[in-house]
Amino acid sequence: MATIIGGIGTSHVPTIGLAYDRKRQDDPAWAPLFEGYKPVARWLAEKKPDVLVFFYNDHANSFFFDCYPTFAIGVSPEFDMADEGAGRRPLPNIAGNARLAEHVANRLVNEEFDMATFQDRPLDHGCNSPLALMWPHEPGWPGAILPIAINVLQHPLPTAARCYKLGQAVRRAIESFPEDLKVVVVGTGGLSHQIHGERTGFNDTDWDETFLSLFVDRPQELNALTHADLIRRGGAESAEVIMWMAMRGALTDKIRCVHQNHYLATTTNMAVAVYEQEEEGGTTAQPHLAQSNPQLRGVEDIPGTYAFDIAHSVKALHLNRFFWRHREPTFRALVAADLEAAFAQSRLTDEERDLVRRKDWLGLVRYGVSFFVLEKFARVQKMSNLQVYASMRGESLEDFLATRRVPASA
């Protein structure tokens, strides 16, 4: 069974990453910040977690306001680092744990946290600015990440209490995962800062001390605060401490702080803290759940039916995207004119290319293609959905239509 072995709260200011990349660790102005991360790195080296669950937010780097999720869980087997306008940071990609991510997503949705899922989107400084200070990463990272993005940019944000409950549900999900994994939960953001408007530069380190104290002993008082309360006390962008509350919810009721540091270098009181639990087993564990999505229990007994789930979506991402791109006039013209050239743009495996070349509609669905992208390919191939349906049933179009009430010309 997977277990949560502790928690980390940390700021995620991009300047931490910039200063790190420029090797400013010993610069007197930066040293107090970097010194504060050394005990965290030692703690992680000693505890050796397999996975870090990161409650973080994306800063309009991988997600945009055309579709901005409240809660989104990353289910990819690997994550790239975002280019935030000044080039990609010189950090290696980091592994995900796709099986754990799918399990946690299934469990959260079954607990009525209706998570968005994301794949193939890079992680921005919400993850990577503290990550590089805490975990060695040359030539590679020592474990995997499970990123859970929380909207803190566009109101309405989820409440602090909702984030806390999300953390509790994440704990239950992790504790019902059958593989032996050691997991550390990380909440990022804050502490006090404001970086827009005339109030830019606002800080209140006394409030930050109060926050850090209540966080350990009386988190429910923090959960009761509105976003306006947090903005008034800590500055507008400090409301992102709701991501710390998700981390707090994933820990046991009683915790102890084993390391804490904060340092106001420029505009943010940059904090880092490590929390251990009073009792390892936890207070919110549920019995082991043999199947992570009980809504689909028994679906495998329904003949000729293939539920499109996260595992298939991860496996067939590039193939689904190949078909999805048929919404682009230039791409579908390329597919029609030169299928092999379209493949060259699409990162498809040999098996996937073969399924496409043969227009094996049933094989594609069985492989993990969603019908709702597949039908776009059918349009380019000058096939109707009715012809595709007949093919999947192993029938001629005429035989299939004979089973329908509407005549073939309809």
Please identify every residue annotated as catalytic.
125, 193
Q: Tell me the closest approach of the beta carbon of residue 232 to Fe ion, in angstroms.
A: 18
Q: Tell me the closest approach of the beta carbon of residue 340 to Fe ion, in angstroms.
A: 44
Question: How many whole angstroms separate alpha carbon 48 and alpha carbon 182?
Answer: 8
Q: Tell me the closest approach of the beta carbon of residue 136 to Fe ion, in angstroms.
A: 24
> Nearest 5 degrees, angle CA 18-CA 24-CA 26?
150
102 or 124: CB nearest Fe ion: 124
CB contact at 8 A, 79 and 52: no
Tokens of 379: 């349009």
Q: Tell me the closest approach of the beta carbon of residue 119 to Fe ion, in angstroms.
A: 23
Q: Which of 43, 13, 28, 17 is nearest to 270 (CA)?
A: 13
Residues pairing with 9 in the sheet: 187, 273
> Nearest 5 degrees, angle CA 148-CA 149-CA 151?
145
95 or 153: CB nearest Fe ion: 153
Question: How many whole angstroms separate alpha carbon 355 and alpha carbon 340?
Answer: 13
3-class state of residue 212 by DSSP:
helix
84 or 240: CB nearest Fe ion: 240
204 or 240: CB nearest Fe ion: 240
3-class state of residue 269 by DSSP:
strand
* Burial class (CB within 10 angstroms; exposed 0-12, middle 13-18, buried 19+) of 300: exposed
Question: How many whole angstroms separate alpha carbon 181 and alpha carbon 179?
Answer: 6
Question: How many whole angstroms separate alpha carbon 187 and alpha carbon 273?
Answer: 10
Q: Tell me the closest approach of the beta carbon of residue 11 to Fe ion, in angstroms.
A: 8
203 or 370: CB nearest Fe ion: 203
Q: Tell me the closest approach of the beta carbon of residue 248 to Fe ion, in angstroms.
A: 18
Taking the chain, what is the end-to-end CA distance rounded to the nearest angstrom? 56
Q: Tell me the closest approach of the beta carbon of residue 13 to Fe ion, in angstroms.
A: 7
Is the backbone peptide bond immediately before 91 cis, with ω within 30 degrees of 0? no
175 or 240: CB nearest Fe ion: 240
3-class state of residue 261 by DSSP:
strand
Q: Tell me the closest approach of the beta carbon of residue 59 to Fe ion, in angstroms.
A: 6
Residues forming contacts to Fe ion in the complex (CB under 5 A) are: 240
Tokens of 304: 């000729």
- Distances in Å between the Cα of 26 and the Cα atoms of 81, 266, 270 are 25, 17, 17
Helix axes 125-134, 14-21, angle to 10 degrees: 50
Strand pairing of 269-277 and 78-79? unpaired
Q: What is the helix (H) or strand (E) element at residue 73, kind and residue range?
A: strand 71-74
Question: How many whole angstroms separate alpha carbon 387 and alpha carbon 360?
Answer: 12
